[in-house]
Amino acid sequence: MSESKKIKSSEITDERTYLNRRNFIRTGVLAGAAVATGVGYRLFNPPPPKEVVTAEIDDVIRSKPTSLKDELTSFEDITNYNNYYEFTTSKTGVASAAENFVTKPWTVSVDGLVNKPKVFGIEELLKIEQEERIYRFRCVEGWSMVIPWVGFPIKKLLDKVEPQGKAKYVAFQTFYDGSNPKGKGVNLPKGDNGMQSSLSAGIEFPYLEGLRLDEALHPLAILATGIYGKLMPNQNGAPIRLVVPWKYGFKSIKSIVRITLTDKQPITTWSRSAPSEYGFYSNVNPKVDHPRWSQATERRIGEFGRRDTLMFNGYGEEVANLYKGMDLSKFY
Ligand SMILES: Nc1nc2c(c(=O)[nH]1)N[C@H]1C(S)=C(S)[C@@H](COP(=O)(O)O)O[C@H]1N2
Ligand SMILES: [Mo]
């Protein structure tokens, strides 16, 4: 039995709002109701997913052995305890639900306030020098992992398109083929990839995220193409996803198809869904509690007991200067 399966549902909080949960129950969507009750959570868990088979990435520049002392979370836990609402809201069910997700061919459009907008094929992005980055990963729900990502600083991609002086923000968008992207609550049939409707997931799709341009240009912010030296498994956001280690996990948007430079703060999925619970910044902060639970401690997957949550997830020395003079309880 993997460590992740030992986690009791009563120990995990859920990113969705109470309001959303009630909607699920009222509309009789089983998956939603299952998560809401806690008991049902286990009841509706699908059988354990098959092991992920994915290709090795060649020529990864290994991170320095000293980069992080924490023990790595196992490949099994990283690939079988996921949040990817387009597929399912059951964390242990994402791996099997995303099994048939087709991520080849794949393109990422980089556009907006740039001098050289371009549609990049994934092959081209995989030719950018790939580095291993071992980062702590902290979900807003109160669990954490240590993940050996493979990827490259977003800056390397943004440099290619030459952001204009007016560009202040970067908006990211996830692939979506599950239902009508325009209509919240429009429950159209599933696409071929096995994604579900916004209605059953409880958040609007396509999933949107954003960063301030200076955050995106920070050397710790990466576009990840793999984990443990292998190409990104579907459930972790194949073929390319964002990783911003000092922010809560929901900022790390998966399966990116579009990156747009803008002069206005972009709409982001979770803050649109529950503005009082999720802000644009979402920096890990043990002193600013979520309205429904404390953020002071966290449960490291694979460990027993809880650890203290670190300011900026332990990356304060590198990133605190990005937020100088900002009241972080206001800009949460
Ligand atoms: N497109 C998309 N990206 C997403 C999510 C999602 O549901 N859809 N979930 C987010 C949340 S809440 C977390 S904690 C991380 C989980 O990443 P992991 O499954 O690789 O650990 O992905 C983030 N990115
Ligand atoms: Mo999360």
Ligand 2 centroid – CA 160 distance (Å): 30
Ligand 1 centroid – CA 165 distance (Å): 31
Pocket test for ligand 1, best of 52, 82, 250, 258 (most atoms within 8 A of CB): 250
Q: Are 176 and 86 in contact (CB under 8 A)?
A: yes
pLDDT at 17: 63
pLDDT at 67: 66
Tokens 């050289």 correspond to: 116
Pocket test for ligand 1, best of 76, 83, 173 (most atoms within 8 A of CB): 83
Q: Are 317 and 280 in contact (CB under 8 A)?
A: no
Least confident of 64-68, 159-163, 263-267, 278-282: 64-68
Q: Is 198 in the pocket of ligand 1 (CB under 6 A)?
A: no
Instruction: Give me the residue spans of the domains in the chain.
Output: 8-323
Pocket test for ligand 1, best of 254, 255, 284 (most atoms within 8 A of CB): 254
Mean pLDDT of 59-83: 87
Q: pLDDT band at 53, cuts 50/70/90?
A: low
pLDDT at 57: 85
Side-chain-side CA neighbours of 69 within 13 Å: the count stands at 1
Ligand 1 centroid – CA 243 distance (Å): 10
pLDDT tens profile 188-236:
455 678 898 888 899 999 999 999 999 999 999 999 999 999 999 999 9
pLDDT at position 332 over 50: yes
pLDDT at position 5 over 80: no
pLDDT at position 135 over 70: yes
Sign of the dihedral through C-alpha 319, 320, 321, 323: positive
pLDDT tens profile 237-286:
999 999 999 999 999 999 999 999 999 999 999 999 999 999 999 999 99
Compute the distance between CA of residue 232 and CA of residue 237 in angstroms, rounded to an integer: 7
pLDDT at position 297 over 90: yes
List C-alpha distances in Å: 303 to 6, 146, 245. 10, 12, 20
Mean pLDDT of 43-63: 62
Read off the pTM. Answer: 0.86
pLDDT at 52: 57
Compute the distance between CA of residue 216 and CA of residue 242 in angstroms, rounded to an integer: 10
For the domain spanning 8-323, the CATH number is 3.90.420.10
Ligand 1 centroid – CA 255 distance (Å): 10
Q: Which ligand is nearest to the CA of 141?
A: 2
Q: Output 87 or 26, whichever has higher pLDDT.
A: 87
pLDDT at 194: 87
Task: Report the chain's mean pLDDT, rounded to a whole number.
Answer: 85
pLDDT at 179: 54
Q: Output 23 or 329, whichever has higher pLDDT.
A: 329
Rounded percentage of the chain residues whose pLDDT exceeds 90:
72
DSSP string, 184-234: TT--PPP-TT----HHHHTS-SS-EEEEEHHHHTSTT-EEEEEETTEEPPG
| Winning range, highest mean pLDDT, from 21-25, 161-165, 201-205 | 161-165
pLDDT at 59: 81
pLDDT at 30: 34
Q: Is 81 in the pocket of ligand 1 (CB under 6 A)?
A: no
Ligand 2 centroid – CA 82 distance (Å): 9
